[in-house]
Amino acid sequence: MKNKIERIAVIGAGSWGTALANRLAANGHNVLLWAYEQELVREINASHTNTLFLPGISLHPELVATDDLHEAVDGRGIILLVTPVQVMRGVLEQISSSIGVDTVIANASKGIELGTLQTVSQICGHLLQPKTTKGYVVLSGPTFAREVAQELPSLIVAASRVEANARRIQAAFSNPRFRVYTNSDVIGVELGGAVKNVIAIAAGICDGLGFGHNARAALITRGLAEMNRLGGAMGAQPATFAGLAGMGDLVLTCTGDLSRNRTVGFKLGEGMQLADILGEMLMVAEGVKTAESVHQLAVRLDVEMPIVERTYQILHEGKPARKAVTELMGRDLKAE
């Protein structure tokens, strides 16, 4: 049975937003991609490329871009948010009046907002109509944008409290090279996507210090334990963290060379300063700011997250990376 053709807005033309918009266009949907940069809009429409964020990839000729937010969302049945989480509130405030009550809001960005310590679903809960918020869908899983754009086999999770919405997103994206599973644990999937970026920075630090595979494997495993503890305090389902949005995404981001967050950590471990590392990067490493928000959330909820705490201290308090690892190894002994 042929899937329904959807009218979809994709908000954010970074590497991930462009890769997802391209996947949807290739599946035959009517897709309008919003980009902040006018020159990028012109390039996508004229040359069907995004050399700024996704160089070397030919985009589907039916994919259209715009720099007008209201044009992007007008009359669209699905709005997919793919802007950095720290600017998400401002984007939603601009388009909230243009979002229909039956529009499905989906989000593929990962992080927790500074200050409020809210996930994107919680931000939506403050800005959008209750029916729209209830039907919110979060997309997460072990997926690098470039590999999705290259049509390499990839798997992802679409989670919503409204099963029909999760299935609608599943149907829109799925094809033989992009498999989507549904889930009902919205907060768990959101937390998995946020925390794994912080742990990936820590893993990169260990690699940059030359601490070897043993240390990285242990850090990933203990990082998963921290993810589970925070999830438990916020009502997430433990099984979520054993799946694609938890362990799957954590392993990918902690080990893959395409991981921006691991790269930040690796360069920190080698001795570079954070400001210099970020100055070299075109795209956002969400884990840098998420380390602060996750650390603050753990303190607020009284959840023990020593890896997140030390990563926050390295990033934002200037703690030497080697000293942070020594402190982690020297903590009181306990049962696993």
78-81/64-66 β-pairing? unpaired
CA distances from 14 to 10, 62, 185, 295 (A): 11, 18, 26, 27
- Given a contact cutoff of 8 angstroms between Cβ atoms, the answer to whether 33 and 13 are in contact is yes
Helix (H, G, I), strand (E, B) or coil at 37: coil
Judge whether 267 counts as a catalytic residue.
no
Exposure string for 213-242, b = 16+ CB within 10 A, e = fewer:
eebbeebbebbbebbbbbbeeeebbeebbe
CA distance 120 to 110: 8
Q: In the structure, how many helices (H) and strands (E) does the chain have?
A: 16, 8
- Given a contact cutoff of 8 angstroms between Cβ atoms, the answer to whether 168 and 104 are in contact is yes
CA 177 remoteness from chain centre: 20
Residue in 196, 289, 319, 334 annotated catalytic: 196
Cβ–Cβ contacts within 10 Å for residue 34, how many? 26
154-160/137-140 β-pairing? antiparallel
Name the helix (H) or strand (E) containing 267.
helix 260-270
181 phi, psi to nearest 5 deg: -105, 150
CA distance 8 to 29: 7
**Where in the sequence numbering do the catalytic residues fall?**
196
